[in-house]
Amino acid sequence: MDVDGRFEEVTDRTRVVLNESKLGFEFDGEKQVFELSSVFDVVQGVSRGQESGSTGTVTLASRTDGHRTAISINAGVERLVTFQQVLYKQLLSGTDVVFRCRDRAGTVNGGPHEGTLAVSPSWIRLCPDGTGKSVSIARDEIISFETPSSVSGQDDKRPAVAIYADTGDRVLKVTTSLPSFRLLNLFGRYLRADLLSTDAIGTASDDVDTIDLLFVDDDPHDIEMAGVFLRQHLEGLSMTTATGAADALDVLEDTPNDGGINCIVSDYQMPGMDGIEFLNEVRERYPELPFILYTGQGSETVAKQAILDNVTDYVEKDVGRGQYEVLAERIRKAIRS
């Protein structure tokens, strides 16, 4: 177990206790408890393709009284699969939501309805308060989801996500607003996560043969380090670099649409045009291109704005090589989505 850089080896007798409100464990001989309400991100999770019997890591980010804590739980992947499944259920199930469901022909479930959210490894359920029919979506029916500024949070303007699903006999759009950007971020992590069963461990991944990455950062040292360490985690990586947003837009214009750049990773703090402004330019010209904001200028304000502007993912820069493992996994998921 690793908490803010302090590492303790996990033994068979070490227990991590997770209930509907708390995460607890023993660390350095002392019991520690974190409120689940303080967890704002699942930074790293178990992914498809890890070998059965191997060791994996699930990393959470927690914030209490302005202090950010990283909690990494290292264990056999089979145990971590179960932990990750229960974690998302405890973080999200019971959340108050407002939702509306439509299909191509018009309104299916009307709305907006006030209700609660429930999640599992295989389905999402929206249960209205009082009368009304629940909306259930199997995770393998989800085609895509979006959190752009155009997805309003109904009348109260809360942050919202639009889920598009093919149920076999109809195509649905389910718009769900959540109470906070923290919960929107966690729900997005859940939607992107490989909540595989233990039977799926070690199965082939959906990675493309090559990854054509455009990495944008005004710091040459950051570009160099990212190139070195990302290549250790991403086979077939081809990395084009730009030291600013304007140069990056020129690269995109000069790149053929077929077989060109299939993911952008961009810093936030850059001269001329910052990462959010660059994201808006990309969304206007290339609305489907995966875009990951990767920045050391991490703040809730930046994260909220990135989510509103339909960023694919948001990763905070850190010290140490672990950040590149996280970034590589996010790149894989962004391209597969």
Residue 275 φ/ψ, nearest 5 degrees:
-65, -35
Both structure tokens of 93: 């199930």
CA torsion sign, 77 to 56 to 313 to 261? negative
Torsion of CA 117, 118, 123, 124, to 10 degrees: 0
User: In whole numbers, what is the pLDDT of the chain averaged over residues?
Assistant: 81
Residue 264 in tokens: 């952008």
What secondary structure, in 3-state letters, does 86-138 show? HHHHHHHCCEEEEEEEEECCEEEEEEEEEEEEEECCCEEEEEECCCCCCEEEE
Q: What pLDDT, in 10s, does the model give residues 261-270?
A: 999 999 999 9
Which superfamily is assigned to 211-336 in CATH? Response regulator (3.40.50.2300)
Topology of domain 95-192, per CATH?
PH-domain like (2.30.29)
Cβ neighbourhood burial of 246 (10 Å; 0-12, 13-18, 19+): middle
Q: How confident is the model at residue 28 (pLDDT cuts 50, 70, 90)?
A: low
Mean pLDDT, to the nearest integer, of 73-98?
Answer: 89
Which two tokens mark 284? 């206007």
Does this chain's domain 95-192 share its CATH topology with 211-336? no
Residue boundaries of the structural domains of the chain? 2-91, 95-192, 211-336
Alpha helices in the chain (DSSP H): 77-92, 181-192, 220-233, 245-254, 275-285, 300-308, 322-336
Burial of 36 (0-12, 13-18, 19+ CB in 10 A): middle
Task: Specify which residues 216 forms β-bridges with.
Answer: 242, 266
Cα–Cα distance for residue pair 201/180, rounded to 1 Å: 33
Q: Which residues contact 33 (CB under 8 A, 6 or more apart)?
A: 22, 23, 24
Q: Give the integer Cα–Cα distance in Å for 244 and 249.
A: 9
Lookup: tokens for 258? 């077929």
Rounded CA-CA distance 59/48 in Å is 16
pLDDT tops 70 at residue 3: no
Which pTM does this prediction carry? 0.70
The SS3 call for residue 305 is helix
Residue 109 confidence (pLDDT): 61
In the block, residue with structure tokens 């590492």: 7
* Topology annotation, domain 2-91: PH-domain like (2.30.29)
pLDDT at 277 over 90: yes
What is the model's pLDDT at position 170?
Answer: 74
Pick the range with the lowest mean pLDDT from 53-57, 59-63, 256-260, 311-315.
256-260
- The arithmetic mean of pLDDT across residues 123-150, rounded, is 82
Residue 82 class from Cβ within 10 Å (0-12 exposed, 13-18 middle, 19+ buried)? middle
Tokens of 283: 């969304």
